[in-house]
Structures are given as structure tokens and as C-alpha cells.
Amino acid sequence: MTPVPATDPLAPPLLDAQGRRMTYLRLSITDRCNFRCTYCSPASWGGKRDLLSPEELARIASLFASMGIRRVRLTGGEPLIRPDILDIARRLSSIPGVRHLAITTNASHLESLAVPLREAGVDQLNLSLDTLSAETFRRISKQGDFDAVLKGIDRAAEAGYGTLKLNVVVMRGVNDGEARTLVDYAHARGITPRFIELMPFGQGVPVPTAELVERLRAEGLPLSPEPEDSGSAADSVTSGPARYWRAPGGRVGFISPLTQNFCGGCNRVRVASNGDLRSCLGGRAQAPLHQLIRGGATDVELARAIRAALGDKPEGHRFTEPGNGATLLSMMGIGG
């Protein structure tokens, strides 16, 4: 376990039990969603009602920024269903030390919010789109407006964001045959597509990244891997788990939690929508930041709780261990 600094627990670096430096905060602001995707949200999921307020979210983000966090990503559920999303974005984008404010969204609200969010300080959007077929969309999610998603993505592409990524969860026999079409769709809009191996949080059968790469090549898409150190120093501080390949139209990303474990370079810490810090996507260890804040905890006390939780962070997730799927929270519950 990494010891809690005796001098100033608020000062960087923020390290986990393996000495990995945490620079990236994934902050869930709701676990409710206007979709019901089979791999993310169980039908019985009711959602938490006691969510963090904009002031509490800003306090948590400020605390993490003082400890070395440089990128904050707002997740859900669907973060854009919160009516105070613009207030939240303005507060977090103005925090000293936060270099990047990003949002992961299903894009259904972006036709009206893409420009206001950009003006509020959001500089990156990850857009979730698993299919270009209305029929397949309905198979994946019984709820949701497919046309609104497509309109929202087009609006986002026009809004001047520094980075746009298209997240595609690949499921065998459902949407794995659309990979090449989705690459072309994304590149035509200046968006980087990223294909994600299905994780064991819900329904469906995953497709290994290596198989998908070979399928794309067989369909005529030349792909060559980027060197892992090809990004800038700033990018390496705030980067996520994707590995990127080059294609004629732009980059193509692959996130491979099952076949190419992404834990070795983990720089991420997660706070769920009720304020529980979770040190690992595949674990249950947590620190109840919400309760501590409402109990009057000082920033030093919060920082010590954060460091203690990260001191229990495992070397890697345990997705593939027999029987572990039954003990995992849903993706909606942990915030992705």
C-alpha cells in the first residue's frame, strides 16, 4: 500500500498502490439515462436520487486538481439529462489545474447543447454510437431517439471541439459487421472512431480487438499501429486506455480490456454519482466522499480518504476471473 504523505496530503502526486500516477478523474454526475442499452444498464436499474450538487462536484474536482488531476471527464448515465449541466461545466472548466474538461454522452441532447457546452468550457466529447442502423439501435436500446443521436453528432462536429471521439461497443452478431461503415462515418465528420471490447457488465458476446483489426483490413481498410509514445508529453499525462492505429482517413482507436489489458498504465480514478470514490472499474473498494463532505470533513480529511482508497487499488481489473461478473456493478452504476 502506498503510504499517505505525512506532510501535505493535498499536494501532488496522487499515486495508487502500484505507484501509478493518477491524472485523470472520471466524475459521474448521474446514473440515470434516457437509453437502456443492454450492455450498460440493467432493466431493473432505478438510479440514485441523492446526487452530488454542482457545488459538491466542484469541490471534489478542485480537491483532485490540487492533488495532480489534469483531466476531468463527466460521465453517467447520461450526463446531459441533468438540467444544471451547463452550470456544472462552467464551474469545473474554471478550476485551476484542470487542463481538459470532457463529457461522454449518447449525443441525444447535443443538437441544442453542443454549442453551449463548448462555450461553457468543454473541449472534448466522446459520442456513444454503436450502429448506423435504426433497427439495430432498437435491438441494443429499447429506449432512445436514434434520429436525435445522429443530429446531435452532426451538430457536435460543427461546434469547434478540440477533440471528438466516437465510442463503439462491439458485440458479436449484433454490430460487429458495421465496423468499417462506422470508421468511414466518423472520419467523414472529423471524428476519431474507437472500438471497445464488450466488458462483462451486461448482455452480449465480445469481439477481440485482434479479430476486429483483421476484419477491417480484410474489408480494405489499411491499418498501421501508432507507436505508443507518439503522443505529446501533455497527452501522455491525461491519456486514456485506447491504442491507436493509422488509416487513410485518420486515427482508429481500440480499447481492449479483455485481450490487451489496459491496467498497466492506468492513470484514472472514478467517483460515482452518489460521491463514492471507486479506485478500480472492476472492483468494489470505495471511499464515501459524499458522506464525508456532508459530515463536515475538511479538504485534508477528504484527501487522506482518497489516498487511503487508492492505496487499495489492485494492479489490474479482475474481469476475466471465473464468477467475477456476478459481483460487478453495472456500467451505469460505476460511471464507465
4 annotated to a ligand binding site:
no
Q: What pLDDT was estimated at residue 3?
A: 47
pTM over 0.85? The answer is: yes
266 annotated to a ligand binding site:
yes
Number of alpha helices (DSSP H) and beta strands (DSSP E) in the chain: 11, 12
263 annotated to a ligand binding site:
yes
270 annotated to a ligand binding site:
yes
279 annotated to a ligand binding site:
no
1 annotated to a ligand binding site:
no
Hey, which residues does 309 pair with through a beta bridge? none
Beta carbons within 10 angstroms of residue 87's beta carbon: 16
Q: Mean pLDDT for each 10-residue chunk of the chain (336 residues)? A: 65 93 96 90 64 96 98 97 98 98 98 98 98 97 95 98 97 97 98 94 88 97 84 50 95 90 77 88 77 97 95 65 50 57
Burial class (CB in 10 A: 0-12, 13-18, 19+), 197: buried
Q: What pLDDT was estimated at residue 284?
A: 63
Hey, which residues does 268 pair with through a beta bridge? 24
| Lookup: cell for 230 | 507518439
Q: What pLDDT was estimated at residue 33?
A: 92
Q: What pLDDT was estimated at residue 45?
A: 56
39 annotated to a ligand binding site:
yes
By the 8 A CB rule, do 198 and 206 touch?
Answer: yes
Residue 52: enclosing H or E segment and its boundaries?
A: none
32 annotated to a ligand binding site:
no
Q: What pLDDT was estimated at residue 260?
A: 73
Region 24-334: CATH code: 3.20.20.70
199 annotated to a ligand binding site:
yes
296 annotated to a ligand binding site:
no
104 annotated to a ligand binding site:
yes
128 annotated to a ligand binding site:
yes
**Distance from the Cα of residue 128 to its chain's centroid:** 10
